[in-house]
Structure 1
C-alpha cells in the first residue's frame, strides 16, 4: 500500500528532527536515500544547487555521442507525452543531456545529480539501488525539491549499466503511468544500443514503442511527413477504429482538410491549444465528430532522416443548453463558443493568463506555500480560491487582510485567544484563522503590510506548524496550506529591512505573478460577458448584450484598476442602461475620453512595430538605464521589469545597449 503525502511528511519531519525512520510511513528505498543524504552532510534546508561545468559537459557529450544520437528521438517522444524535463545522466549522476518545455531551467544540465550535492530523487535512487523508481513531493530530502515529481530508469548497454533516463516535473505530479512509460522508452533505447540500429527501423513498429504511447490517457497520434498515420494509442481507439485509421492519411479524419497542413507545419505556436474538429471513425454508418484540443505537437527527426509528428489531443464533447450532447451529424458550425465550467474562479484565454492557469493547476496538487504578486485588482484572492478548490483540501478557504488590522488584533485574529486575554475578549475565547483553516487554505492578503514582530510569529508557525492561542500555554498542531498575496515588491521590502528575508523565502516556494488587465486585453470581451451574466443574477435583472462599439472602447482603455475596475464599470453600465444592450454612450466619461499620454502617442505606430525587447531597450536608453522611470513608462511594476530584462537577456550598463547579434 502506498503511503500518503501526509504520512511521508510526518516521516520526513521525524527523520529531520530526530533521525528516526517511521518504517510504516515511508518506503525503504526512500528511507535509505534519506540516511545517505544525512550521512553525506546534506542540509535539508539548503537552497544551493550544483555548479554548472561547461568543460565537463563538453567532455561527457563527446564520450556519449552515440547514446545522444540514439536517445534524442526517444527523449523528444517523452517530452511530448509528459510535458516535463527529460534528461540523461551517466553512472555518477552527471547530466549531459536535458530537454525541457520550460524557457528557463538551468539547474541540472552540466551538473551532478547525487546525494552529496543535490539531495535525493528518482535518479539518485535508480543509480544507487539499480532499479526503476519514482519519487514525489515530500519523499525528497531537500525542502526546495518537495514540489518535484520524478521518475528514473537505469540504461544498460549489452547488460552493463551505463546511466539513467529521467523525467522530472518541478511543479506538479507526473501522471500515474509515467514510470511504465519511461521503462518502455528505455527498452527501445537499450534495443538500439544492443543492435546498433542506426536506421531506427524497429522504432515505430516495436512493441515497446506501442507500450510507451499506450501509457498515456490522452489521445496520441503519430504521423509521417505526408500525414499518414503510423501509430495511435489505446485511448484514441475510443474514437477511432485502428483498422480505419492506420496507414491512412489523417486528413480523412479532419472536418476541415486544411488543418492537416497546420499539424505538419514546423511552427508549434500557432496550433498548440487550438481546437480541431475530428470525425469519430467507426464501422457504424452514423458519423459524428468531437472537438479535440491539441495540447502538444512535436516534430521528431530520426537519424535516417525520417520525420515523425507526435500529436497529443485532449478531446471534449460539446453539449447544448439543456445538457444533452449536441447532434453533429449536420454541417459543423464555423465557431463553437466554449461553455464555462460549473465551478468558475477566474476567466481568461489570453497567452498571459494561460501561463497563470497552468501554474495554478500545477501548484494546487502540492501543499507548498505560494506567493501571489500583482497589481491591485488583478484577482489574487480569486486565484487563491482556485488553488484551494483544485487542491480538494478538506477544510475551508479562509482569508485575512494583514494590512487592515492593527498589530494586536492581527495576532488574535490569526492565533485566537482564551478567556480574559484582553479587555473586550469574548467570555469563552475565540479560535483564530489558522484553526478555522485547518485542513484547508489560509490566504494572507497584503502580506507586505504585516508588522515585523508578527512576521516572527508567522515564521515560527511555518517551521513548527503549531499555534498557541493568546493567554494559553497549550500548543495545537494545525494543517494549513499558506498562500500569501501582495501588490508590493517583496524583494525591495526585504532590502529595506521592512520584511524578514527568511520569511520571504519560506513564503516564496512557488511564485505566481498575475498580469495586469492591460497586458491581456484579449480577455476583456470574455470577462465583460461573464460579469454581465453573473451580475444579472445578483441584481435580478435580465441579461444584457454589450455592443461591439462598447467592447472596442473597453479594449482600448488602460485599466489601472484592472479586473476589479472592469467589473465595477460593467455593473454601473447594467444599472444605468435602459435598453437591452449596453452601448458605448452609457460608459463612464473618463473611459470614453481616455487617451494615452501625448508623449507616448507620438511614437505609437513605431512602438507597435517594435518587439517587446527592442521597446524596453529603447526606453532604457531614453532614461539612461533608470529602472523606475522605465517601469513607469511601461506602466508595470519594477519587479516585473526586472524579470522581463532577465528573460529577454537585456544587458544594463551606464546606458542600455543592444546586444550585438
Structure 2
C-alpha cells in the first residue's frame, strides 16, 4: 500500500458509510451514543473503529473516563531507557516536528510498544492542552487503558490508523484528532512503538496519517542503519580475535540473538549439543534473557561454551559464542604414549577459500574421495595440491596413515629403496635388518606421490605392478608383502604430453589418473587471496606471540591484484615476512609490501576504481537492510571478503565525534 492510498482506504481514512456516501459528524456522534447504550454497531462507522470500540467495551472502559493513566517519573525513565534505540532513531523526526508543528496546534508523539509516551514535541498550545487527558510523557495510551485512540488502536491492529473526534471511545478525548503508525523492527518486523500526530478536532487533516507513516518509515531506516553498524562492530570483534579460536566453532550474534556469522559446522555442532537453543535463526537464550544474564544462561544450556559480549559505549550490542572442543584425556604415566587418540586427519573444511573455482574443485575432490579410486591432482607449483591430498585422505574413516613421497626430491638411485623398501645387504650402507618402504608404510592408508612425473621410467613398471597386484617386493628381496592402500599422485606437468614424448608409461598414467582434478591457481581465485593472507598472517603472528596483523584497504587491493606466480606458497612466505618485518601495531600498508607485489596501486585510475567499489559495496549493504550475507550474494563476492573490506574501511575512517 502506498502513502497516497491512505486517504481513501477503508480503516485508514475519514469516516464513511459502507455505501461510500459521506457521513456527517452528527451521524458518527449518534452511532457512538447508540453503541455506548446497547453495543449495537452502526454501518455508518468504519469497521476498524467498530472493532476498536468492541475491544474497548470488552476491556470495560468507561465512556466517561477523563484521562489516561500516567506512570511514575522513575518508571518513565526506566521505560525510556529500555527503548533508548527507538528514542535516538526518532530524534531527527522529533526535531523536525519542533519546527513544522510549532504553529499548527498539533504535536508529535513517540510511544513504546505498550503505548507509553516517551517523547512529545510541537505547538506549545497543543502540548499544554494534552495534559488535561494525560497526552504527555508517561501517559499510557493502550486501548485497554483509555479505549479507542490512534496510538492504542494502531498498536492493537498493527497498522496505521486515524481516529477523529467522536470516533474516540472516551468522551474526554473526543476534542482530539490523531493519526498514528506503528514503528517496526527493520529485520524482525516486531512493533517497537508508534509515532503519532495529534491536535484539536478543528486541525483535522487527512494528510496527517500519510505524514505519520512517512515518519515511521524514517525511524525504521535509521534503526536499520544502526543495526547494520552494530553487526559490523560484532564482526570486527570476531575478526580481530578469531586467531585465538582457529580450532573452535564460533557463532556471532546480535543483541536480539539473531545470527550474524556462523559456519555450517558451527550450526551442526550447536544442534548436536542442544537443538532447542536455536529457533528461527536466533539464539533464544539471548532473545529471552537480559544481557547481564547471557553468559550464565548459555553456560547452563551449552556446557563447554564460552561467551564474549561486545559493547559499544557501555551498551551490549551482541557477542561471540565459542563452542570449545572437548579436551582429550592425556595418557597417564603408566599408559604408553602411543595409546593416546591420534589427531584427526584434516578434512575438506581445512581448504581455505570461497571462490567459485576453488569451491568446484573442493566438491569434485569430495566426490573423488568417496570413490576410493586413484586420483591425479594437477596444478601449478604451490597451489596446495598436498592440502587436497590430505583432505581426500581424511575423508575415509578410519583414514589410516598418510605417507607422502616427493619423487623429484630424491637422488635417482634412492627412489626405489624409499618407495619399495629394501632387505638386509641389498646395497652398501643398507641397514642390517632391512627397512620397509613408503608403500608398506601406507598399508591401510594413503600413499601420496608428489612430482610423480619425475619418477624414473624404469621404476614406473614396478609401481604399476604394485598397484595392479597389491603386492610389494623389497629391493634385494624375494618375499611378497601384501598391501592395501589408496593412491593420490600430484604433478605440475602435463603427463599426457609426457606420455606422448615417451617419458611416462601410458599404462601407469591410465592407472594413476583414473580420476583427474586440476587445482586452480591463486590468480583465478579472486578474493580467496584475502582469506588466505588473513589466515597465514594470523598464524605467523600467533607463533611469534604477537597481535594479529591488520591491513589497510589499499594493501588489500594490492594483494588482491597481484598475479601470485608462486601461488599459495608465495603468499604464505609474504605473510611470514610481513609479520616479521612490521611492528604489529600499525596496519600493514602499501609501503610494507614487497616492491614487486604491487605496481601503480596509487595512481588516479586505481583510486577511482576503489572509490567505485566502496560506493557499490556500501550501497548494497544499505539496500539489503544491513544483512551482510544478502549483500555479499548480491555483489557476487564471498561474505568473509565483505567482512574484511568493511573492517579495513572502518579502521581507516576518522574517529566519530564525541568518542574516545
Common fold: TM-score over 0.5: no
Q: TM-score per shorter chain, which class?
A: 0.3 to 0.5
TM-score by length of 1: 0.41
Higher relative contact order (CA 8 A, sep 6+): 2
Q: Which has the larger radius of gyration?
A: 2
